[in-house]
Amino acid sequence: MTHPKSLASGFLAIIVSAFSFLSCSVESKKGIGENAVAPLHYVGSPSHVTDRSMLMFSDRGAWFAYSLPDSTETHLGFAGPFLMTQENGVWASANLTQLLLERVELFGERRPIDLNSFSVTQAGTASHLFQNWTSEDLNIKLNLFFLSEATAAIKVGVENLTSNEIKLVAKWSGALMNSNLTPSELDTVIRVESEKSDAVGDLTLMEFPIASVDHTSYKTIESLRVIPGNETVNFYATQSFYFPGHDLNRELALINSVTESYDELLNQRIQEKTEQIEALVSKIPANSEFAGNEMLAAKLMLTLQNNWRQPAGGLYHQGLFPSYHYKWFNGFWSWDSWKHAVALVHFNKELAKDQIRAMYDFQNDLGFIADVVYRDTTIEANNYRDTKPPLSGWAISEVFKHSQDTAFLQELYPKLKKYHQWWYNYRDHDQDGLCEYGSTDGSLIAAKWESGMDNAVRFDSSQILFNTDSAWSLNQESVDLNSYLYREKVHLSVLATILGHEGDSQLYRKEAASLAEKIQSQFWNESTGWFHDTDIGGANHIEAMGAEGWIPLWCKVATSKQAARVVQTMMDSTKFYTHLPFPTVSADNSGFKPDGGYWRGPVWLDQAYFAVKGLQLYGYDEEATEAAGKLFHNAEGVLQPGMPIRENYNPTNGAGLEAKNFSWSAAHYLLLLIDE
């Protein structure tokens, strides 16, 4: 993963989503979700607009998210929304839909309900967030779920636990966390706009007329509610956030259905998520120690779900961020996208397809695909300085295998061919059939980025070479790149046969066989028993031993004898079989930096996954099973409810490092879980 260059954030501006506070009603039905399991811990109240000390819940590709208030907060409502459209993530409010309740005593005396006297439970599931506040005579239940990609629906049920009627005075209020806003009242609508985004927020109050609006806050007129004994009064709210062009008629119809159909709609979402989790659990092998582990499956799915974004602005298809939790990961990266798609297809086939399309939207006439693309390129420009390793053939093949969507395959096949050929046209400096990582602008840093392993030890002495206009190569040929290209030729051959292009199929089989011989000879070092990068001429090996050395096993291009030597080194505790196995560089390398070294030692789950699957492909099943178990058990928090999946991990102690809620880590853990 490449950390893009940080930019000055400028002054803060927030857009409030569209909000509708809908009518209340009386019912005796109990709330939903109080017995649900919490795979991720969403508790945390923001102390400032860019606070990322907590995880945030979102769904359906929404560009906003919520948390649950922490133990120091005693108000009814959810923390948020957290908006992922301005300055790469800011809180609009600590609680924009706060329900205030006062008890009406005898003779009309009023006193605020003291929530400090209530016991509270709250958690998040794959489908929704919930809270349950209980006292001697009241039970207050709150649920929040995503009605659509643009609307979150909230229900507050106040249940009278006594046989006597209880009178309450209710009103809604909320405050923004920043004053750089331009709110205006339009009849019953409060519109909030910002120069930082073209998104529009509307606050619509129904049955709770607006009492006042200032530059940061609002409150409604109070309303008396009488709750009969042992019955419940319900209050409903929706928060919507949308970009120009969104179908507002459809959204309004959904919003108008909430008061009558909230439980039904929430149950539909619960059922959808239940089916997705069950589909994943059913794929876990029966002999796995994790067979039936719904919590783990849900955590991995939720990690991906929280990073899901619908098309908007400069993004034309839905896809996943690497992590909403890190402010510079608010975009789509190409090799991240390929990896995400391979996991997504196991529970959301359409999202998997679109994740691939999202990057092919940025393929140029030469076949090149951008490294990373963003919704708002005024915050960060799309990166055309480099691409990323060629794994889209793997992604397309896996998505087709599980979807059997021939139309999708026909759509992507010619684009894949073009991208595959681009490497040989623009990244083969000496035209020997072996490619190099490089850049489009002649910069060394972008060439290293193109490998995906930005600061890897193997690139410490690399230099840049001119190929043609807008095409430069490193002065070394990389074994992982050429192994990926070998595997892509195999995929292309199979896909061509499926589509009836037998000429293509035969050509790619022939090219794959030729490339295999080159990989097995040039990159293999008999004295070390490892695959190494070489100089541009292929005569000298780069000494560093890193994760690139087992990629030929995952690509099934190593000979059996070579694989046996590689496995011996992979399972050596002084090199790669560390407490958490398979660091990105050998632990005995002088450049090994396990804590914060990024690609100079930490364990990345994509490379660890390639290692485990490489072991399996060559028959080392016992070693693969043991290593996979260590990846789950020895990485901080992976098997513990509530704790997030991390970007990478310290191989010596398993500590989680870098970004939280990291998509490709979850994707590869998911693939390990279902043994795919």
State mean pLDDT over 292-320. 97
- Kindly report the pTM of this predicted structure: 0.94
Of 180-189, 468-477, 643-652, the least confident: 180-189
Predicted confidence (pLDDT) per residue in 616-668, tens digit: 999 999 999 999 999 999 999 999 999 999 999 999 999 999 999 999 999 99
Which residues are within 8 A (CB) of 310 and not within 5 positions of it... i.e. 6 or more apart? 60, 61, 62, 63, 149, 318
Question: Looking at domain 18-245, which CATH architecture does it have?
Answer: Distorted Sandwich (2.70)
What are the phi and psi torsion angles at 438 (to 5°)?
Answer: -165, -160
The overall average pLDDT reported for the chain is 92
Q: Residue ranges per domain, the chain?
A: 18-245, 427-570, 577-676
Residues in the chain: 676
Classify residue 16 by its DSSP letter: P
3-state SS assignment for residue 111: strand
> What is the Cα–Cα distance from 321 to 206, expressed in whole angstroms?
35
Position 203 pLDDT exceeds 80: no
Query: Residue 271 belongs to what H/E stretch?
Result: helix 258-282
Determine the pLDDT at residue 183: 55
Determine the pLDDT at residue 184: 59
State mean pLDDT over 414-435. 98
> What is the Cα–Cα distance from 229 to 213, expressed in whole angstroms?
36
Amino acid at 382: N
Determine the pLDDT at residue 12: 24
Query: Tokens at residue 440, please?
Result: 């489009």
Q: Taken in order 528, 531, 535, 538, is the CA torsion positive or negative?
A: positive
Give the pLDDT band of residue 510 (cuts 50, 70, 90). Answer: very high
Angle, CA of 335, 336 and 337, to the nearest 5°: 85
Determine the pLDDT at residue 8: 25
3-state SS assignment for residue 491: helix
